[in-house]
Chain A
Amino acid sequence: MTAVVEGTGLTKRFGTGDATVVAVDSVDIRIETGELVMIMGDSGCGKTTLISLLGCILTPDAGELRIDGERIDPVNEDLSVIRHEKIGFVFQLFHLLPYLTAVENVMVAMDIASTKTNVAEKRATELLTQVGLSERVHHRPAQLSGGEKQRVSFARALANRPKIIFADEPTANLDSRQSDNLMNLIQELRREYQTTIAIVTHHEGLKENADRIIQMKDGRIVTT
């Protein structure tokens, strides 16, 4: 198998002097194509920092990162291009733009990638249909339930056909029924689009959906 994301010796510190916190400490990680990985651990163990490093939102203080086989140079490369070309993000609090409808929220990701509006609208509508929201395409986030918002969020993450989707606690604000539905959807989307997915979660009940569990503690990977 080939690795979509491969990090070697990834380290991230916050603060200076005595107040320095090593959020991610010399982590080696490899996520294979098509995998559904769950990154678990206690609060503050560095899960979100790790996916921020792997998703090119943060730049590591040490270590090397490869995405889709290419070495990332955070100093000389425009990381925003990597983010919209190769990575999709799903956030715990959905973060849909309140003034846009569901379809427009999905289109934004394609707008960033300079996709033509008519092409973007067609794909956004298809993706929303895929996630079961064909009837809610023109609804604003305020008119959607938590589960529906998270579906729109997944559709947005898929919009630019990313190599990998990082989801940060995607079920944290959903009830158990909505969580189950979302996990079923994730499995479905993964089969449909052969997308690699890495999910950060506390939710022990989701473990059974994962191909692999990465357990973190104090900024390090303890089991994988």
Chain B
Amino acid sequence: MKTLFLKDMRYRRARVVLTALGITVLISLILLLGGIMNGMRIQARQYVESTGADVWISAEGSGGAFIGFSMVVEEYMAFLNSGPGLAPDSASPLVFAQARPTVRGKSSKAIVVGYKLGQLGGPKQAVEGRMFTRSNFEDYRPEDPVPYEVVVDEKMGLEIGEQITLSNEKVRVVGKAKSLMFVLDTPLLFMDVRIAQKLLLGNTPHVNMMIAKTAANEQPLQIAAGLDALETIEARTLKQTLTDIIAYYVDEPMKAVQFLRVMLWLAAGILIGMITYVTMLEKTQEIGVLKAIGGSNGYVMGLLLKQVVLISAVGVVLGLILSYVFAAAAPIFVAINFVESIIVVCISFVVCCGSGYLAARKAIAVDPMIAFRGEI
């Protein structure tokens, strides 16, 4: 009777549905957490890759690009712009700093990107309005009369001509840039590097990094290694910078989430193991009768495992579907990787089946003598 286990499941449908739902929720949470981290990695990458830079340079001991601050002096600029292996005049200063601008009276989060207009580091033109006024960066003057202008992310919902407050200063929105959110949907505010220094770095000639392109036919890895060998400079390739930024902005702060994912996996396994075991305890009389009338351990185990496999399969597949539904409705960017989610689903399925198997193995140890006592 191939449907014996199905009939049993239908009889205990409330418990079956609850177990499958429990697994569904846990699996979708595991996938969503992975999707959030994946989304953060994608967002961390997309700005860095959009700059078009090949080499990322910071002062030795500053902590690295995107993390610490480097003093930019004219000698650096001159050296880099004529430096070995770098494209002539491609070196560009870049400020990349977290900020809390006040937008329409409300404090919000943003990343200020200060760069030299027309050079690496930000958009060359706005999708709406115009770009900000350019300063003469090389001619550093604390009283530089450049206007406070910003190009905002098109998804921020700001209008051209509106003002936002940044470090107690009014900054006028002059244009909108193609949306390029950073980690956790943090919008980017593009402005002149001198304005960024004035507003966020106490008007000192610091930047977070210098970025540059390598000359044609030059290998970024070799050029970066050559620059890195100089005592005063740290230089990284795009790939190395991506590794650093993902570690700094995603992997390090999300360690707790990773831990939580493992815990959820364990919870899914324990859940099905526990429910299977409790169900088995409820069925000991039944298992005893099946054994008494000639059912082997293998036969009884087969019945129990079919149920465990079916509940686990339904739970993880529904979890997979639900995670995509939640991801679409989430208020932040969630990027569930399909291949990764299939791997997660497979591992979760094995964890659930494994714990169910352990519970079933314990249950089939029932003495068939039990059939002579008690009621089913």
- Contacts from A to B (Cβ < 8 Å): 48, 52, 55, 57-58, 78, 80-81, 83-85, 87-89, 91-93, 95-100, 104, 107-109, 111-113, 117, 120, 156-157, 160, 168
**B328 CB-CB contact with A under 8 Å:** no
Q: Looking across the interface, which residue of chain B has its beta carbon closest to that of A93? A: B375
**B339 CB-CB contact with A under 8 Å:** no
Neighbouring A residues of B372 by C-beta, 8 Å: 48, 52, 91-92, 168
**B329 CB-CB contact with A under 8 Å:** no
Known: A95-B376, A99-B11, A104-B7. A57 touches B294 (CB 8 A): no
Q: Which of B325-376 contact A (CB under 8 A)?
A: 368-369, 371-372, 374-376
Q: How far is the CA of A99 from the CA of B372 in the complex (A)?
A: 20
Known: A83-B294, A104-B1, A113-B294. A98 touches B7 (CB 8 A): no
Q: Looking across the interface, which residue of chain A has its beta carbon closest to that of B1? A: A111
The answer to whether B8 and A95 have CB atoms under 8 Å apart is no
Tell me the minimal C-beta distance from A117 to chain B in angstroms.
6
Q: How far is the CA of A88 from the CA of B289 in the complex (A)?
A: 12
The answer to whether A99 and B293 have CB atoms under 8 Å apart is no
**B270 CB-CB contact with A under 8 Å:** no
The answer to whether B293 and A108 have CB atoms under 8 Å apart is yes
**B4 CB-CB contact with A under 8 Å:** yes
Neighbouring B residues of A117 by C-beta, 8 Å: 1-2
**B285 CB-CB contact with A under 8 Å:** yes
Tell me the minimal C-beta distance from A210 to chain B in angstroms.
21
Tell me the minimal C-beta distance from A203 to chain B in angstroms.
17
Q: Which of A84, A96, A108 contacts B1 (CB 8 A)?
A: A108
Q: Which of B262-308 contact A (CB under 8 A)?
A: 285-286, 289-297, 299
**B10 CB-CB contact with A under 8 Å:** yes
Tell me the minimal C-beta distance from B6 to chain A in angstroms.
10
Q: How far is the CA of A112 from the CA of B295 in the complex (A)?
A: 6
Neighbouring B residues of A87 by C-beta, 8 Å: 294
Tell me the minimal C-beta distance from A99 to chain B in angstroms.
3
The answer to whether A95 and B371 have CB atoms under 8 Å apart is yes
- Contacts from B to A (Cβ < 8 Å): 1-2, 4, 7-8, 10-12, 285-286, 289-297, 299, 368-369, 371-372, 374-376
The answer to whether B294 and A85 have CB atoms under 8 Å apart is yes
Q: Which of A78, A98, A109 contacts B293 (CB 8 A)?
A: A109
The list of the 10 closest CB pairs from A to B, nearest first, reads: A84-B294, A99-B11, A83-B294, A80-B296, A95-B289, A111-B1, A112-B295, A112-B294, A99-B7, A57-B368
Known: A92-B372, A96-B376, A98-B11. A80 touches B289 (CB 8 A): no
Q: How far is the CA of A180 from the CA of B1 in the complex (A)?
A: 34
Tell me the minimal C-beta distance from A68 to chain B in angstroms.
15
Neighbouring A residues of B368 by C-beta, 8 Å: 57
Q: How far is the CA of A104 from the CA of B7 in the complex (A)?
A: 10
Q: Which of B286, B295, B371 contacts A91 (CB 8 A)?
A: B371
Neighbouring B residues of A108 by C-beta, 8 Å: 1, 4, 290, 293
Q: Looking across the interface, which residue of chain B has its beta carbon closest to that of A95? A: B289
Known: A58-B369, A95-B285, A99-B11. A109 touches B294 (CB 8 A): yes
Neighbouring B residues of A93 by C-beta, 8 Å: 374-376
Tell me the minimal C-beta distance from A91 to chain B in angstroms.
6
Neighbouring B residues of A112 by C-beta, 8 Å: 290, 293-296, 299
Tell me the minimal C-beta distance from A59 to chain B in angstroms.
11
- Could you list 26 examples of A-B contacts with CB < 8 Å? A48-B372, A52-B369, A52-B372, A55-B292, A78-B296, A81-B294, A81-B296, A84-B295, A91-B292, A91-B371, A91-B372, A92-B372, A95-B285, A95-B286, A95-B371, A97-B289, A98-B376, A100-B7, A109-B294, A111-B4, A112-B294, A112-B296, A112-B299, A117-B1, A156-B293, A160-B294
Q: How far is the CA of A107 from the CA of B286 in the complex (A)?
A: 15
Neighbouring A residues of B294 by C-beta, 8 Å: 80-81, 83-85, 87, 109, 112-113, 160
Tell me the minimal C-beta distance from B290 to chain A in angstroms.
7
Q: How far is the CA of A104 from the CA of B299 in the complex (A)?
A: 16
**Other contacts beyond A89-B292, A108-B293, A112-B294: 19, CB < 8 A:** A52-B372, A57-B368, A80-B291, A80-B294, A81-B294, A83-B293, A91-B289, A92-B372, A95-B285, A97-B376, A98-B376, A99-B7, A100-B7, A104-B1, A104-B7, A108-B1, A111-B4, A117-B1, A117-B2
The answer to whether A120 and B1 have CB atoms under 8 Å apart is yes
Tell me the minimal C-beta distance from B63 to chain A in angstroms.
66
Known: A95-B285, A99-B7. A83 touches B292 (CB 8 A): yes
Tell me the minimal C-beta distance from B16 to chain A in angstroms.
12
Neighbouring B residues of A100 by C-beta, 8 Å: 4, 7
Q: Looking across the interface, which residue of chain B has its beta carbon closest to that of A86? A: B294
Neighbouring A residues of B371 by C-beta, 8 Å: 57, 89, 91, 95
Tell me the minimal C-beta distance from A120 to chain B in angstroms.
7
Tell me the minimal C-beta distance from B45 to chain A in angstroms.
54
